[in-house]
Amino acid sequence: MALDEQTRAAIDSLLREHPVVLFMKGTRAQPQCGFSAKTVAALDLLLPDYVTVNVLDYPQLREGIKEYGNWPTIPQLYVKGELIGGSDIVLDMLNSGELADALGVPKPEPVTPAIAISESAANAIHNAVREQPAASLRLQIDAGWGHRMSLEPEKPGDVSVESAGIRICMDPWTATRADGLRIDLEEDLGGTRFRFENPNAPPPVKQMSVQQLREKLARGEDLLLFDVRSDEERARATIEGARPFDQEAMRLIEGLPKDAELIFHCEMGGRSQQAAEHYRRLGYTNVHNLEGGIRAWLEEIENAQAQD
């Protein structure tokens, strides 16, 4: 299938607007092929955020991207508009350190982290390791502070530590994020799972009530309040002082210190939670989501004031 001008323009626009773009099968959260999954895992290790395009949703793009970069397979990684390559090249560059250079990510300093494992978690891990004696326990902490453990062979360049009689191997990036980590076991209605308590991770997104926001506005605080809704939604109702969450807002946030107070709101709190999580993953430590969104604001604040 020939690359038509509309598809070429769409690709050009993506690469102009975003420094890192991965054309893949599936999504970042749910890759639909092993090669895409490996590439996502490599990027997740170094970057908290980047753009992915699911070519399975766009047949013209699926074929067009191959012609665009004269590369026959998917996934394809572009950095600053330049084609890096597919899964094998990305993994080779990750292991050699070239991927970090291409992405502009500082290479980690050699560290040996201290990791604590509770007795219950250690028993569960010992049982799993006994069933696969040739494998080692691998810990991975990605740039978005997602924690994952698996049983895999050790790899060249791994950092290894021992805790509770368990040998833990990890890549150097994970090692820089793991000092002080505690691994425990917890049970809930969904079953048993591991819990990771990491003092290095940014604090979770805080929920701000509409009453708390009203008090801040009444005190005349100069708030960084961002409305993530569409122009059409904002035309129907707004909170005084809220800024549209657009390219200008994103540039403003990029220039702020990481401890700046950021508040996001949408209609009911779902989209704004996603925006807040994005900045938490980027290392911002004072991020808030307006609980209930503008709907709660209208019902609990403006309607109540109108009745007074």
Q: From 69, 103, 137, give the residue that closes a domain.
A: 103
Co-location of 179 and 270 in the same domain:
no
Give SS3 for 38. Answer: helix
Within a domain: 21? yes
Query: What pLDDT, in 10s, does the model give residues 21-60?
Result: 999 999 998 999 999 999 999 999 999 889 999 999 988 8
At 174 the pLDDT is 96
- Residues annotated as part of the active site: 266
Within a domain: 81? yes
Q: Which domain holds residue 175?
A: 115-197
pLDDT (mean) for 185-207: 90
CATH number of 265's domain: 3.40.250.10
Q: Are 87 and 36 in contact (CB under 8 A)?
A: yes
Query: What pLDDT, in 10s, does the model give residues 94-112?
Result: 988 899 999 999 989 889 9
Order of all β-strands in the sheet with 82-85: 51-54, 20-24, 76-79, 82-85
Co-location of 167 and 193 in the same domain:
yes
Cβ contacts of 202 within 8 Å, gap of 6 or more: 145, 280, 281, 283, 284, 285
CATH number of 44's domain: 3.40.30.10
Instruction: Examine the pLDDT at 91 and tell me if it is beyond 90.
Output: yes
**Tally of CB atoms within 10 A around 172:** 16
At 133 the pLDDT is 80
CA distances from 13 to 17, 21, 81, 144, 188 (A): 6, 11, 10, 26, 46
Q: Are 84 and 93 in contact (CB under 8 A)?
A: yes
Number of domains comprising the chain: 3
Q: From 103, 132, 149, give the residue that closes a domain.
A: 103
Tokens of 308: 């007074």
Co-location of 233 and 302 in the same domain:
yes
Within a domain: 108? no
Instruction: Examine the pLDDT at 2 and tell me if it is beyond 70.
Output: no
Which residue from 158, 177, 176 is spatially nearest to 168, judged by alpha carbons?
158
Phi and psi at 167, nearest 5°, equal -90, 125
Enumerate the H helices of the chain as residue ranges.
Answer: 5-17, 34-46, 59-68, 87-96, 98-103, 119-131, 172-177, 210-218, 231-236, 247-254, 270-281, 293-297, 303-307
Within a domain: 123? yes
CATH number of 131's domain: 2.60.300.12
Instruction: Examine the pLDDT at 306 and tell me if it is beyond 70.
Output: no
- The residue with tokens 């004072």 is 286
Q: From 142, 171, 197, give the residue that closes a domain.
A: 197
Within a domain: 46? yes
Co-location of 11 and 95 in the same domain:
yes
Mean pLDDT of the chain: 92
At 301 the pLDDT is 83
Cβ contacts of 13 within 8 Å, gap of 6 or more: none
Within a domain: 109? no
